[in-house]
Structure 1
Amino acid sequence: MKLLELGHRPALRIAAVPFSEWNQSANIQAIELNADQSAKELSPFLATLKLIVLNFPIFRDGRAFSQARALREYEKFQGEIRVQGHILPDQAEFLYRCGVDSVVLPDKANEEPWHRERERFRVAYQVSTQNESSFGPGLKRHIS
């Protein structure tokens, strides 16, 4: 497993416990949330969590984008959000804008396409969960 950092938050090296196996009384710092589980279920525990791993079970399932956005925007989660599963480099900027900090890649994956995609866009029309000034070089939010 290789961790690719998308933003300014360094990737943590801790193991995540699947939400379905999590004993809420245990002192767990990292949870793995499946696409069919609500980020809202973690609300009471977000202050103690340092990492939430979201899953893309198949390419056309984008619920992890919504989970990441909900964790950042509505639940105000300040820890690391990581994604794994069926994701592509051309989703890098969208993942980042939804609040994702890191991506799990196969060991032999080429990171260059991911870095290239993070620098690809210079204009954004939608509001991001990230600080607008923290985009890649030259990226501005377009307001019409």
Structure 2
Amino acid sequence: MQRIIKNDQVVDESWHLLPKDADLATLSNSDDVIVPLSLWLEHGHALRARDGGLGVWLDAGEEIEEIAEQLDRFQVIALNFPVFTDGRHFSTARLLRERYGYKGEVRAIGDVLRDQLFFMKRCGFDAYAVRPDRDPYDALQSLQDFSDSYQAAADQPLPLFRRRNA
């Protein structure tokens, strides 16, 4: 079983991340699943009828605006980083938190490395599935790499100078 970082601790993964070619006929009614955006757009009505938890994952290049009106249906929104150098989903996480007010879990999946976690958290991520060849306990320590940040972000809406004057 894979272990992920969630809410600043390493936990066992309880959600099933479905591939883009998943067969809904073999899907258990009670499992918690994270489905690809394309599967949600095609079979959303059937997925809503399930008893298990529901999440959606977006690949790089897929826009959150496609499901912005449906965000309350998802407990998890996973954002896929196909390579660590593709940072488009940093913006998606900020949009989810700041523009759309999404309160559920925002998870980073794919080529997720230790060096990115602190900055991902600043953008609104609260769960990270680090690459399978990496140690999640080591990656967890990266969330403590910096004691404070000057700029405002999703995790701290006030810049340091405003916090100091308060």
Which bin holds the TM-score, normalised by the shorter protein?
0.7 to 0.9
SS class of match (1:126): coil
Report the TM-score, using the length of structure 1 for normalisation.
Answer: 0.81
Q: Which residue of 2 aligns with 1:25?
A: 45
What is the distance in 1 between the residues matched to 2:61 and 2:132? 27
Preserved contact between residue 34 and residue 57 of structure 2 (Cα < 8 Å): yes
Counting aligned pairs with the same residue, the percent is 29
Q: Which residue of 1 aligns with 2:99?
A: 74
SS class of match (2:44): coil
Instruction: Give the partner amino acid of 1:5.
Output: K
Q: Higher Cα Rg: structure 1 or 2?
A: 2
1:6 CA displacement: 4.3
Instruction: Give the partner amino acid of 1:104.
Output: A
What is the aligned length?
Answer: 136
**Higher helix share goes to which structure?**
2
1:143 CA displacement: 2.2
SS class of match (2:4): strand
1:24 CA displacement: 3.0
Instruction: Give the partner amino acid of 1:17.
Output: V
Q: Which has the higher contact order (CA 8 A, sep 6+)?
A: 1
Report the TM-score, using the length of structure 2 for normalisation.
Answer: 0.71
Structure 2: stretches of 5+ with no match in the other structure: 16-31
Instruction: Give the partner amino acid of 1:61.
Output: D
Structure 1: stretches of 5+ with no match in the other structure: 133-139
Aligned residue runs from structure 1 range 122-133, under 5 A: 122-131=147-156
Q: Which residue of 2 aligns with 1:5?
A: 6
Instruction: Give the partner amino acid of 1:3.
Output: I
